[in-house]
Each structure stands twice: as C-alpha cells, then as structure tokens.
Amino acid sequence: MQRILNKDTVSHKGEKILVKGWVYVRRDHGKLIFIDIRDRSGLLQVVFNPKVSADAHKVASDLRSEDVIEVIGKINERPEKLVNLKMGSGTVEMEATEVKILAKSAPLPFDIGKETLDVELPIQLDHRAITLRHPRVQAIFKIQSVIIDSFREYLKSQDFFEFQAPSITPAVAEGGSEVFQIGYFDYKAFLSQSPQLYKQIAMSAFERVFSVNKIFRAEPSSTTRHLTEIVSLDAEMAFIQSWTDVKDMAENVVRFILRRVEKMCKPELELLKASLPAMLLKTPTLSLTEVQQKIYEHSKRDVRGQKDLNPEDERTICEIIFKETGSDFVFVYGYPTKQKPFYVYPNPKNPEFNEGVDLLCRGVEWLSGGRRINDYNQLMKHVKEWKMDPEKISMFLDAFKYGVPPEGGFAFGAERMTMQILGLKNIREACMFPRDMDRIDKRLSLEKEDV
Amino acid sequence: MQRILNKDTVSHKGEKILVKGWVYVRRDHGKLIFIDIRDRSGLLQVVFNPKVSADAHKVASDLRSEDVIEVIGKINERPEKLVNLKMGSGTVEMEATEVKILAKSAPLPFDIGKETLDVELPIQLDHRAITLRHPRVQAIFKIQSVIIDSFREYLKSQDFFEFQAPSITPAVAEGGSEVFQIGYFDYKAFLSQSPQLYKQIAMSAFERVFSVNKIFRAEPSSTTRHLTEIVSLDAEMAFIQSWTDVKDMAENVVRFILRRVEKMCKPELELLKASLPAMLLKTPTLSLTEVQQKIYEHSKRDVRGQKDLNPEDERTICEIIFKETGSDFVFVYGYPTKQKPFYVYPNPKNPEFNEGVDLLCRGVEWLSGGRRINDYNQLMKHVKEWKMDPEKISMFLDAFKYGVPPEGGFAFGAERMTMQILGLKNIREACMFPRDMDRIDKRLSLEKEDV
C-alpha cells in the first residue's frame, strides 16, 4: 500500500489509505481517541474508535507525543461544524482500522503541541532536534530556504554564474582580530570572513558571479544580532556604468525575494504573524550627508559629519523615509572613503567619499555593496595607503594586472534577512544550528576542555 | 547604447551595435586587424579596417591580449567560406567604427588563446585569475554548476528540503586524526568532516532533507584524488521501507544529473572531449561478497573475504560489469558492519554485514550511502561497541530518543563527480580554488610562517 501525505488525504475521501508520521497531539473524548498525526506536509486528524477496530484503539491508547506510526484507515469528510481551516487537511479525518508503531518516543522535556513554543531560546537550542519539529520553527527555515533559492533564481535569470567560494583562506586581508585560526598541517590558515576577493577574481573571468557560502566572524560579542558562522549571499558584476547599476541589481534581487516569499510562503507568514516590508518601485536613495542632514532636521540630533551611521541613526532615517514615502527601504551611499575597505571605489568628483552603498530596512542594514576599484594602479595605491601587506593578497592583486572591467557587487546574510523579514527578536532563531561565542550545539561553558 | 552580448550579435545583422569584452586573440592581415573579443557568452570576431575608421584602427594596433574594450560597429554576415562553426557567433563579424579601452592588461605569463591550455597544473593554479578565463577551464565549472543545480532540482522535485549544515563542529564523532582544529575563543572546535549527524537531525524533523555544503578533510596525502575542502552533496530520507529505497533515490539523482549535463552542456562536453557514462534503466546491484566472487572468477585474484574493495578491485568489477551489461555504473552493498561507521544499519538477517551501499562508476566510487540505525537503543549499543564517547555526540543521540522513522541517505562530492564525468586527471582541475596540504591559493612551502 502506497503512503499518502497528509495534505493529499483530502483527495482520497471515502478511500482506505496509508499515512505515516509522528503523533503530534492526542485528545481522548470518552472512548474515542483523536490523534493529530504530523508528516512533512502538515497535520491530519485520526480517530481511533474501538467499535471500528478494537486492536487499533488498544495500540492508540498507549501512544504518546512523537511516537512514529503508520496508520491505515478510511478518509471521511468532517461535519461542517468540525471543519478546521487551520489544518491543510481540516475538511477530512481518518477513521483508523490498523496502526503500527515504527518508533517510540521518550517523554518530551517540553510540550511542542501548542501553537507557540513556550520555551526560552537557549533551552530550544539545547534541544534543537525537538524544537525543529514545531510548525512555527519549521516555518522559519522554509522561508529561509525560499530566500536563498530566490537569490539564486533571480541572479541566474540575470546571467550570473554560481561559483563555490572557499572557506579556508591563507591570509587575512583586512586586520586579523576577528578571524578564526586553523591548524593547517604545518602552517596556519584562517576561516574566510568574506568571499570578496574570490568573487572579484571569479567575476574577472565570468563577468557576473554569485556564491552562497559560509563566512565566519570571530567577534567576541554575544548580541542578538551576531553569529560566528553565517550564510552569505554574494554577487559581483562586471561592465557596470556606475555604482547605481549595482544598487539597482541589489534592489531587484531583494524585490524578487520578497515577492517569492509572499507568493510561496503564505501559510508560514501567517503562522509567524509576519508582514513583509514595503518596497516602492524605486527605493529612496540618499547620500550619507543627505541622511545626516535629514536626521538633524527631524530629530535635532546633529550627526552631520560623522563617519558612519550608528544603530540609532539607522532607525531614525528608516522612520523618516517611511513617513515621507511609505517605503520600508532606503539606500544610503557615499561613505567616507577612508572608513571603508581599500577596494571600494572613490567618487571621482569627490574622492573623500566612496561609491559604496548600503540598503537599510526597518532600522537595520540588510545589504552592503558598491562599485569596486578595477584599475590595478589605483588598487595598489589604496593597498599602500591602507597599509596592507600586498603579499597576503597577491593572488587577488595579480588578477587586476590582466584587464578587469568596471565592476561592483553586494552581499547580505541569509540569517539577518530571515530575522528581519519575520521580525524575530534573536538571529539565533533564524539559524538551524547557530554558533556563537557561548555555543556550538551545546553550551561551551559546560565543556571541560580548553585549547 | 545598450550592450549586446557576443552570442546575440547574430540577430543584429546589418545593425550598428555595442559589444564589450576582453581581447582574446589578435591576428594582423596586411592592414586589417582581426580581434576575437571574449565576453561571458562567447567570442566575436571584430575587424578593424583603417578605411572604415582610422581612429579605431589606431587604437586596435596597440591592443593586446586581455585588454578590456568596448567596440561599436556594424554586424556583417561572413562569406560562407569564412564561417567558423566553432564560434557561437561564427556566421557574423563586426566591422569596428569606434573602440574604447576600459582596462589595459599586462603581458600574460603564458598564452591563453590556444584551444588547449598548454601549462602545467601547478602553474595554472598559481595564476588562477588568468586560467579561469580559458574556455576549457570555464567549461569545467559550468558543468560543475549544472551538477550541483541538478542535485538540488531533482531532490526538490522529490519533496526534499534544503538546510544549511554547519562547518564549525564542537567535537569529532569518529576519530580525530584527519580533522582541522580551530581556535574558538577560549575553546577548541573542529571543521566538519561530514554533515552526517546534522542531516539526520534535520531529517528527524523535515523527513526529507539535503544540503550542499563544505566538508573538510585533513588527510596528509597529496594524491590526484584528495582535496582538504570539498563541496559535499548530502541527502537523507525518512520512512524508507528498505535500503533499496535509498539506492533507488541515489540512482535517480545521478541519472537526472547526467541527463541535465547532457542536455545543458553540449558545447562544454565537446570542448572537453568528454563522454558521459552509460547508465541502464536498472543499475546492476551486487553484494560485496558477489563482487568478490566475480573478481575471483574473472581475474583469478582471490579477494573473497576481504573487508572492503581496494582501488584495483573497484576498477576490475567496473570492467566486468561493463562487459556483461554495458553499464558504467554498479552498486555494491553489504559491507562488513564493523568496518563502517556506527550508524550504518546491520542486515537483520545477517548482522555481520550492513545495509550500506556504494555507487561505483568507471572504476571509482562516486557515492556512498545506505540505511541508518533509527532505534535509540540499537544506536546506543553501537556507540558502546564502536567505543565512542556518547557525550561528544549527545545532541545527535538525543534526537533518536524522540521517535525517528526508518531512514537512510547518501552523499557524494561535487569535485569528484565533475572529475569523473569529464575524465580529468587531477581533482584540482575540478575545483576553482583547490586546497590541499601544499596549497591554499599559493604554495604553502613558499610561506615563511609556521604555527
């Protein structure tokens, strides 16, 4: 007998079929036992009636949460007043005639049968295998997979080529304090903080490239916004006319992702009570100086001339722009050249400011990018001014000797975007197996080993 | 003026258009200068005739390989005898009227304008930014991206969910000699050798999962088959009836990948003179014991009773099966239980052999998988017998307390498969930025630093 998924049972009314899954919730009403069985497609209500099958009812009477079972039974239409529209299969139920236990579960350390998982995040993470079974937790990762897929899909439609950026790197291009060191045979190596240099090399051969890869940050901070291992969505494109080509591509990617999430994740968004941010046809775009002026005019906080936006500035400008235009998004460009990495292109008309650009949404930076220097001599000049060791990035610098077109790119983190879209309070909720300075699966402070 | 890609010039005959790209090959015939310009879509021949534009001709006379240019000119049909079918745009050429240099190139250390790149692999890798521009090198990575995309596409069509497996792990499940250690704040951590335990946890919640992620192997060997950083294509599925469900899924994935590569990569396969391996509708499937018997009968080498196949055995059995059936593939199942990881399911009828299965092709193992133990008590028994520390994999073991269905999965390396499909001699050719014990971008022996 072929297994039918719970969501497909509605097209098997009156038939005797086989379903498989986990006991999610059990309710006893007199002699009847009601079990919501969960599979990858959703829930199905199964009724065990001793008059229909005494054997099945007997087995069911010992079932508990998360036991794995297979059930054979007849799919019946539910009476109209018992229809449950929250359940995909809520117009039907199964009348069980046979049940078999495939695996027993130990008692759960907490109840996962409620609509909201009423457990502190650290405890949730201590028991990841259990919490991953909760529909709201699953919804987060389904949406995240749509975000990542959509990034890929849109860029492929724009002729971008996906390459595999390495995780092990030989040297640290920009400072070394926030990087993880690896013992690499008789040498030392480092975990990649960004595929920046590799994507520029790949771009110099393939023109348009992207990568979905892990980056690693050893920042010793345990905030709700930091992870040590992140999924970075990176893109780089050659033959741009101006930094605004990069901005437009980034805007289109984000727009495509939001549309896809809206279209493909309706039930998940509802479950999480999330509302997608509003993106206009043309996202407001301001220079850092203009942003600082606006903040000054609206809030009387004088941040004019500051070198960057702090978190409060980011919140304020997003509020102002939303009030003025209805856009949840705002691009900010033109940061002080010296404040940013050596490869960012300085504005030729005013080289003190660069052609880097950030996308803010709802008070937080979502994405960072801009035009890069493509001329070898200009790049070498910056390497010197930034006091970098050209030996450490020689493979990267060499690429620019051999003809690199005007180019730019952008990057954003999948977990950050997931967190922001869904309004999650902690980035750890947007990562299946989050790593931070206190945790790799288990809490590190519980370990006895040291280096 | 909007840029037209080289491959699209054929639909602009008689029009004046703009193209951009790299000077690939230059030939001077009397006063005419012919330049093959390369962009992401392929090559286009551009003719600089001093009678058409003296200015453009003058600029062209100083152009050299890998200079980046934009050219405006008229697209003309080529006379029939000058048609070049090796070039996508070989039925046309451009008559240049304007040319602008976007970036100059230094002289190349070797010629990349020939059909075959006549440079030793270490030198190719020393100059990755240059060799990545060669059409045959690009063809390798285009095919690799199709392999990875097809893996994803097929499994998604079968309701598998993509999750992000972590790279940083807290402990080493199975022995620690071939693992890279990371300094992780005040603790030690390790680079993941396999997402095995994580994919089983994710499967226990999502039923069918896959991941495309990096794995890391610190094997101190510099063969043509080893890399330290690999793209692993991993899948795991719940509610299997038998290990053959896993084998069938693996077969279907490989078949889908081969078909996709055949369909989408015709020019690349031709360029690389590669022929795809033959897969029958039903791949021959033999137990290890049967394989050993066959090898004995055909070669008189008595390997019966050996614990595994060695490379020579793998070559021999593939030759035998190909002669007997025409299949380049053969599944081998039923390895000695004690020789394999603790989580592989023992055959209930003969527990000395397990329900693990490998897929061999053309003399080499492509893929490894099988049924896993899903019962907590059985798993704990194995943990003890294998003398493992349950503390180190407690998150994994805990998952099996709470109801895990019968399940299995498989994994294979993207670089290995690329190498095998294309008949490459060294796996480093199938990796854009290969890492091995002697190289991370640059050759490590040239570094002066040590740990």
Closest CA to A194 of A237, A242, A234, A160: A234
Q: Which residues on chain A are in Cβ contact (under 8 Å) with B379? A: none
Please state whether beta strands A285-287 and A329-333 pair in parallel, antiparallel, or not at all (unpaired): parallel
Provide the shortest C-alpha distance from residue B304 to chain A (in Å). 37
Contacts 24+ apart (CB under 8 A), A198-201: A198/A163, A198/A165, A198/A166, A198/B433, A199/A163, A199/A165, A199/A234, A199/A235, A199/A236, A199/A409, A200/A236, A200/A343, A200/A372, A200/A396, A200/A399, A200/A404, A200/A407, A200/A409, A201/A395, A201/A396, A201/A399, A201/B128, A201/B129, A201/B132
Query: Residues B163, A432: contact at Cβ < 8 Å?
Result: yes
Q: Do A450 and B374 touch (CB under 8 A)?
A: no
Per-residue pLDDT of chain A (451 residues; tens, 9 = 90+): 999 999 999 999 999 999 999 999 999 999 999 999 999 999 999 999 999 999 999 999 999 999 999 999 999 999 999 999 888 899 999 999 999 999 999 999 999 988 889 899 999 999 999 999 999 999 999 999 999 999 999 999 999 999 999 999 997 766 556 899 999 998 989 999 999 999 999 999 999 999 999 999 998 888 898 999 999 999 999 999 999 999 999 999 999 999 999 999 999 999 999 999 999 999 999 999 999 999 999 998 999 999 999 999 999 999 999 999 999 999 999 999 999 999 999 999 999 999 999 999 999 999 999 999 999 999 999 999 999 989 888 889 999 999 999 999 999 999 999 999 999 999 999 999 999 999 999 888 765 544 3
Q: What is the pLDDT of residue B428?
A: 97
Closest CA to A125 of A328, A428, A373: A428
Query: Residues B332, B310: contact at Cβ < 8 Å?
Result: no
Q: What is the pLDDT of residue B450?
A: 42
Q: What is the pLDDT of residue B155?
A: 98
List CB contacts of B223: < 8 A, sequence separation 6 or more: none
Once rounded to an integer, what is the mean pLDDT over residues B266-284? 96
What's the mean per-residue pLDDT of chain B? 95
Strand-pairing partners, residue A19, are A71
Q: What is the pLDDT of residue A444?
A: 85
Q: Do B183 and A451 touch (CB under 8 A)?
A: yes
The DSSP element (H or E) to which A377 belongs, if any, is: helix A376-385
Q: Which residues on chain A are in Cβ contact (under 8 Å) with B204? A: 129, 132-133
DSSP structure string for A106-150: PPPSS---SSS--S-HHHHHHTHHHHTTSHHHHHHHHHHHHHHHH
What CATH architecture is A130-439? 2-Layer Sandwich (3.30)
Strand-pairing partners, residue A168, are A191
Nearest to B395 among A166, A404, A441 (CB): A441
Q: Do B103 and A374 touch (CB under 8 A)?
A: yes
Query: Residues A192, A216: contact at Cβ < 8 Å?
Result: yes
Q: Do A214 and B218 touch (CB under 8 A)?
A: no
Q: What is the pLDDT of residue A174?
A: 63
Q: What is the pLDDT of residue A449?
A: 47
DSSP secondary structure letter of residue A105: B
Strand-pairing partners, residue A214, are A231
Q: Which of A100, A168, A191, A268 to mutate to test the interface with B (most CBs of B within 10 A)?
A: A168
User: How many Å apart are CA B294 and CA B314, to the nearest integer?
Assistant: 12
Q: Do B128 and A218 touch (CB under 8 A)?
A: no
In chain B, where does the domain assigned CATH 2.40.50.140 lie? 6-103
Q: Which CATH superfamily is domain B6-103 in?
A: Nucleic acid-binding proteins (2.40.50.140)
Domain B130-446 fold is: BirA Bifunctional Protein; domain 2 (3.30.930)
Closest CA to B238 of B406, B10, B451, B392: B406
In this prediction the pTM is: 0.96
Query: Of residues A220 and B162, which shows the higher confidence score?
Result: B162
Closest CA to A249 of A154, A318, A372, A147: A154
Q: What is the pLDDT of residue A86?
A: 84
Q: What is the pLDDT of residue B447?
A: 57
State the first-to-last Cα distance of chain A, in angstroms, to the nearest integer: 55
Nearest to A435 among B105, B166, B432 (CB): B166
User: How many Å apart are CA A139 and CA A146, to the nearest integer?
Assistant: 11
Q: What is the pLDDT of residue B173?
A: 63
The encoded tokens of residue B208 equal 């069918």
Once rounded to an integer, what is the mean pLDDT over residues B216-220? 92
In chain A, where does the domain assigned CATH 3.30.930.10 lie? 130-439
Q: Do A129 and B205 touch (CB under 8 A)?
A: yes
Q: How many residues does chain B have?
A: 451
Q: Which residues on chain A are in Cβ contact (under 8 Å) with B181? A: 182-183
Provide the shortest C-alpha distance from residue A447 to chain B (in Å). 9
User: How many Å apart are CA A417 and CA A434, to the nearest integer?
Assistant: 15
How many angstroms separate the most distant Cα atoms in chain A? 86
Contacts 24+ apart (CB under 8 A), B192-195: B192/B165, B192/B166, B192/B167, B192/B168, B192/B216, B193/B217, B194/B232, B194/B234, B194/B411, B195/B165, B195/B166, B195/B232, B195/B234
Provide the shortest C-alpha distance from residue A178 to chain B (in Å). 10
Q: What is the pLDDT of residue B175?
A: 58
Q: Do A395 and B129 touch (CB under 8 A)?
A: yes
Residue A108 backbone phi and psi in degrees, to 5:
-75, 150
Chain A residue closest to B201 (CA)? A129
User: How many Å apart are CA A37 and CA A76, to the nearest integer?
Assistant: 16
> Residue A187's CB: how many other CB atoms inside 10 A?
17
Chain A residue closest to B147 (CA)? A162
Q: What is the pLDDT of residue B449?
A: 47
Torsion over CA: A110, A115, A118, A119 (sign)? positive
Q: How far is CA B243 from CA A81, B156, B253, B316, in A?
A: 44, 21, 16, 25
Flag whether pLDDT at B253 surpasses 70: yes
Q: What is the pLDDT of residue A450?
A: 42
Query: Residues B23, B66: contact at Cβ < 8 Å?
Result: yes
Provide the shortest C-alpha distance from residue A397 to chain B (in Å). 10
